[in-house]
Chain A
Amino acid sequence: MPFEVVLQGILSPLFIASILRISTPIILPALGGLISDLAGVINIALEGIMLVAAFTGVVVSAYTQNVWIGVLAGIVIGMLYSLILALFHLYLATDIILAGIALNIMAQGGTIFLLFILTGDKGNSSTLASGAVPTITYPFLSSGSWLGQVFNGHNIFTYLAFLFTWLVSVFLYKTPLGAHLRAVGENPVAAETVGINVKRTQTIAIALSGFFASLGGLSLSMAYLTLFQNAMTAGRGFIALAAVFLGGRTPWGTTLAAIIFGFADGLANQLGSLAIPPQWVQMIPYVATVIALVAYSIRRQAKQRERLRRFQEGEVKGAEAGSD
C-alpha cells in the first residue's frame, strides 16, 4: 500500500518539477567538469568554485540590491578563482589534483570566514537581503494542469542548464576551438606538433569550467535557496565530476547523468514514508558511476587494441602507440 503512495509520488507532476530543480545545480557544474576533463585538465575544484560564486552572488546582490550585478559578480569571481587553478597547474607546475584540493579547502574556509565577518553568523546569510533570479510562469498553462505543474515556476538557471548543454555540444563538436580542446585532451604532444597552443587551450577550458561551476553555485544560492549556507554545495561539485563519467563524457550524456543523480536524491526524499532507508537510494548513483566508469574504461581499452591492430596490419613501421 505505501509503495503505491511512492509510485504515485514519483509520477506526479510536482515530483518531476522537483527533479528538474534538484538537477540544475548538478547539470551546470557537470558541463564545466566535462569541458575541463575533455581538455585533459580534470577540475577537482568545481566544488570550491561553486561555493565562491554562490557566496559572491549573495553578498553582492545584497549590497547592491541588484540581482543581476550579483549574478555577474558571482560569474566573474568564480572564473577568476578557477584561473588560479590554471595559473598553478599550467604555469607553476603544481599537480592539478593537489591544486584543486587546495582551492576547495580555501573556498570552504574563506567563504565561512567572510560570512562571519559580514554577518557575525557562520551558519547562513539570512540576515543579508540577497536577491533571487526570476522564475518563469507560462500564462497559458494553468497551475492546476499537469503541464502547468511540470513547467511553471522554474528559475532561469534550469533553462540555462539545458540551453548550455546544447551550446556545449555545438562548441565541442562544431567549432575549431572545441576540436582543438578535445585534441589537447586526447594527446597534448600531438596537438602541440600541429600548432595548437596547448596551455592556452587548457586555460580556456579551465576558465569555461569555472564559468559553469559558477552558474551552478549561483543557482544554489540565488534560486534553489535564496541565501548562502555554510558548505551549501554539499559535494555537488564531486557529483558533477561523477556525472561526466557516468554520462560517457558527452554533453547530453552528462546532463542525463546529472538528472539521474537528481532523481535518486528526490526519490530518497519520497521514501521517507516507506521502510526503505533513504541511504540505499542515495547510494545508487555512486555505484552506477563506478560501473559506468568501468564500462567506459573497458570500451576505451578495446578501442585502443583495435586501433593498434589496424595500425600493425596497415603499416610495416612499428611505432610507439600513443600514451595511455
Chain B
Amino acid sequence: MKKVLGSSAFRELLRVMIAIIVALTLGFIITVLVSDDPIGAYKAFLFGPLSKINRFGDWIEESITLIFLGLAVALVFKAELFSLGQEGQMVLGALVAGAIALYVPVPVYIRVPLAILGAMLIGFLWGLIPGYLKAYLNANEIVSTLMLNFVALKIYEWLLTYNIKPEDAGYTASETFSAEGTMPTFFPPIPFLGELRTLFMNQTNISIALYLVIIATFVVYYLMYRTPFGYELRMVGANIKFARYGGVNTKRTIVLAMAVSGIFAGLAGAHLASGIHRKLILNITFGLGFEGIVVSILARNNPLLIPFTGLAYGYLRAGANVMERSSDMSREMVLVIQAIIILLVTAERIMPIIQERIRVRRAQQSGVPPAEADAPRIEGGD
C-alpha cells in the first residue's frame, strides 16, 4: 500500500519536474532567439528574486496571494466542481477589507482582524450563490462563476469610483490606509534584530498574512482529510452517485464546498488590499484571475503541496518582473512558460504514451515482434 502510494507520488513529482524543465528549456530557447544578452536575461529571470531584499519581498507577497487562491481552488476541485469564481470572491474580499480599513475607527488590533473576517465572510457568501445554483438547480458552475466574477468586478468598480474614491483624486483609487488599517509586518519586534526588522519593513510589504497563509494551509488540510465534511467532499469528487447512495448529502456538500472555498479567496483579497497595496485600486486583481487554478493543479489539489507550488509559481512571476526590468526581454514570456507547464502537467496521456514508446522500442531491440508489444495499448481509453 505504502509502496504504491510512494511510487505514484514519485511519478507525479517526476511528471511535474519534467514539465517544468521542458518549459524552462523552451523559455531559454525563446530568450536565445530574441534577446541580445540571453544569458544575462535568463540569469535575471532565474535568480532575480533572490538578488535584492525588495525583490525577495515581491516574491513572498505574490506567493501568499497565490497560495490562498490555490487553497480555494483545491477545495472545489477536490469535489470535481469547476468553480472559476475565485476572482470575484477575491475582489469582494479586497473591497470589504478595504472598507473596514478605511471607515471603521477602531484600533489596529481590532480593525485588522475585523477586515480579515469581513473578507472571509463575503467570500463565503459570494460562494454560496453558485454553490446553491449548482446543487439545487444543476446550473453549470463554470458559467455561473464566470458571470458572478463580472458582477463582483462591476460592484467593486462602482463602489470604488462613486463612493470610496476621494472627490479630488486624480485617478480611481482610495486613500492610502492608515497604519491602523494595514496588516502589520510579519517581523516580530525582537530587540536585538531591530535593524533587520526596519530593513524588512522599509523594503518589503510582507505582513502577518504570511502566518495566516501557513495556518490556512493546515486548516484546509485538516478540513479535507480529518473532518466529515472533507470526507464527503472527497466522496462527491470521486463519484457523486456513489456518494449519494452512500448517504452523503451531496447538495449540502456542494454548497459548502463552494462557500468554504470562497473564504480563502476572500483572504487573498484582504491580503491584496491591506497587505500589499494598502489602498484600493482599480484592477486590483489584475492578472490573478485563474492563477489559483494553476497553483492547485500543479499540487494535484493537495493542500500540503500548495505552499510549495505557490512559491515556485510566484518565483517564476517575480523572476519575470526582474528580467523585464534588467534586460530587453518582456515578462510576458513567463506566461508562455506557465501555459506550457499547465498543458504538460495536465495531459494525462503523455506519460503512458512515452512509456509505451519505450516499451515498444525495448521489445523491438530484444527481438519480440512489435505487434505483441503493441497489444496492451493505453488502458482505460474512452
Contact = CB atoms under 8 A, between A and B. Distances in A.
Nearest to B297: A98
A283 B330 contact: no
B168 interface: no
A95 B330 contact: no
Interface stretch (B48-56, B257-265, B334-342): B334-342
A293 B146 CA distance: 12
A103 B338 CA distance: 10
Contact of A103 (B151, B293, B330, B339): B339
Given A97-B142, A122-B330, A245-B143, A106 B336 contact: yes
Contacts of A287: 147, 151
Contacts of B158: 277, 279-280
B154 interface: yes
Interface in A270-307: 277, 279-280, 282-283, 286-287, 289-290, 293-294, 296-298, 300-301
B349 A245 contact: no
B176 interface: no
Contact of A99 (B133, B138, B343): B343
A204 interface: no
Nearest to A239: B150
B4 interface: no
A98 B332 contact: no
A101 interface: yes
B243 interface: no
Given A238-B146, A242-B143, A105 B335 contact: yes
A172 to B, nearest CB: 20
Contacts of A105: 290, 294, 335, 338-339, 342
Interface in A67-100: 88, 91-95, 97-99
A115 B34 CA distance: 12
B143 A241 contact: yes
Most B CB contacts (10 A, CB to CB) among A105, A109, A122, A241 go to A105
A159 interface: no
A110 interface: yes
Interface string B261-305: 000000000000000000000000000001001100100000000
A106 B340 contact: yes
A286 B154 CA distance: 10
A93 B348 contact: yes
Interface in B100-157: 133, 137-140, 142-144, 146-148, 150-151, 154-155, 157
Contact of B154 (A95, A239, A279, A289): A279
Interface string A240-262: 01100100000000000000000
Majority-rule SS of A interface residues: helix
B147 A94 contact: no
Nearest to A241: B143
Contacts of A238: 146, 150
A86 B144 CA distance: 24
Interface string A43-66: 010000000000000000000000
Contacts of A214: none
Given A106-B339, A293-B139, A294-B139, A283 B348 contact: no
Given A93-B348, A289-B147, A290-B144, A297 B334 contact: no
A88 B353 CA distance: 13
Contacts of B339: 102-103, 105-106, 109
Contacts of B347: 88, 92-94
B137 A286 contact: no
Contacts of A301: 137-138
Nearest to B33: A117
Most A CB contacts (10 A, CB to CB) among B334, B336, B350 go to B336
B162 A286 contact: no
Nearest to A84: B343
A123 to B, nearest CB: 12
Most A CB contacts (10 A, CB to CB) among B138, B294, B334 go to B138
Given A106-B336, A113-B332, A294-B137, A283 B151 contact: yes
A278 B375 CA distance: 63
Interface string B54-83: 000000000000000000000000000010
Contact of A290 (B147, B157, B346): B147
B140 A245 contact: yes
Interface in A15-37: none
Nearest to B287: A108
B155 A279 contact: yes
A282 B144 contact: no
Contacts of B162: 277
Given A98-B346, A293-B139, 18 more contacts: A88-B343, A91-B349, A92-B348, A92-B353, A99-B343, A99-B346, A102-B339, A106-B339, A106-B340, A113-B336, A117-B34, A282-B154, A286-B148, A286-B150, A294-B139, A297-B138, A297-B139, A324-B138
6 contacts: A94-B347, A102-B346, A109-B339, A277-B161, A289-B147, A297-B138
Interface of A: 42, 44, 88, 91-95, 97-99, 101-106, 108-110, 112-113, 116-117, 122, 235, 238-239, 241-242, 245, 277, 279-280, 282-283, 286-287, 289-290, 293-294, 296-298, 300-301, 324
State the 3 A-B residue pairs at the shortest beta-carbon distance, nearest first: A109-B335, A106-B339, A279-B158
Interface of B: 34, 82, 84, 133, 137-140, 142-144, 146-148, 150-151, 154-155, 157-158, 161-162, 290, 293-294, 297, 330, 332-336, 338-340, 342-343, 346-350, 353
